[in-house]
Amino acid sequence: MISCIFTRNMSQINKCILNKVIQKTEISEKKLAELKRILEETRKIRIYERIQELTRENNILSNEVQKAKTELIRLETLNGKKQYQIPGKVAAVELSEPAPVKTDIQEPVAKKEKKEKEPKKKDKVNTAPQATDLTVDVRKLDFRIGKILEINKHPDADSLYVEKIDCGEENPRTVVSGLVNHVPINEMQNRIVMVLCNLKPVKMRGVTSEAMVMCASSPEKVEVLLPPNGAAPGDLVLCEGYPREPEAILNPKKKIFETCAPDLKTNDDKVACYKDSPLVIPGKGPVVAPTLKGVPVK
């Protein structure tokens, strides 16, 4: 009898323990499932945050690349290199197509002999670029903004100033200007001016002048042109309707500046123009004269 009672009690105890184990197992499984869910959500959040971080880095790199391109274009333009706009992907394909032609040209001896036998064709190829040089207008002039860092009277000429002008280059340019009788020296110091930078350097009373300060000029008065507010050394001056294609150095024999000079004038709003098209610094404004209207710019 006692053994039966003991056996029954043990069975009840075992059932109780088993139920507790089952309950704890279910609780553990629920907690495990919850931990898995939290882990998955955390992983998704980390992936999203990483994507955002990479997107920000990509935007920063894209901006830096664009700034580098802009600076490269500015420096090439300052050095007189022409800039060509590529219309799109079709143009890129057309530019890539000449590659096989290069490999054909590099094939040896027989084609080299052809080159020697056809000098006239070479001459024709050389004359093609010269046709574009026939265009003589303001696009050939390299107008830039400069700042006068230092100015003194010419040691051997009472009517001339000798200036050191920062044009945004590594070294300032020496410029000789005949402005002594028109502008007091204190008004020239630290002044922002428009400068023609691709004239051939020439000695003026023993001092080599490397550019020309542009002025509005009448028989009675000469005024140094005023660049717009915010203009800085090295800014390029453009003429609306005439994309910049400046010569590295103007050939005096071609008389390019002399050809353009009659059409360089101020208009009724005192804005410096070429054939009524304003001379401007993009995003900053036009170059103007202080008071003179309808007079030559030189």
- Residues 147-171: tens digit of each pLDDT: 999 999 999 999 999 999 999 999 9
| Structure-model confidence comparison of residues 279 and 55, the more confident one | 279
CA 201 vs CA 139, 207, 215, 250: distances in Å: 20, 10, 19, 10
Is it the case that residue 190 has pLDDT exceeding 60? Answer: yes
How much of the chain, in percent, has pLDDT values that exceed 90? 50
Residue 202: closest CA among 176, 178, 180: 176
Say if residue 132's pLDDT is above 80: no
Above 50 in pLDDT, residue 207?
Answer: yes
In this prediction the pTM is: 0.56
Cα angle: 260, vertex 180, 281; to 5 degrees: 40
Domain limits, the chain:
23-78, 89-132
Contact 215, 224 (CB under 8 A): yes
Average pLDDT of span 12-22: 79
Mean per-residue pLDDT over the chain, rounded: 82
Token pair of 38, please? 């939290």
b vs e for 155-180, b when ≥16 Cβ sit within 10 Å of the residue's Cβ? Answer: eebeebbbbbbbbbbeebbbbbbebb
pLDDT top residue among 13 and 113 = 13
Section 249-259 average pLDDT: 91
3-state secondary structure of 144: strand
What percentage of the chain exceeds 70 in pLDDT? Answer: 78
Tokens standing for 284? 């900053």
Mean pLDDT of 240-244: 90
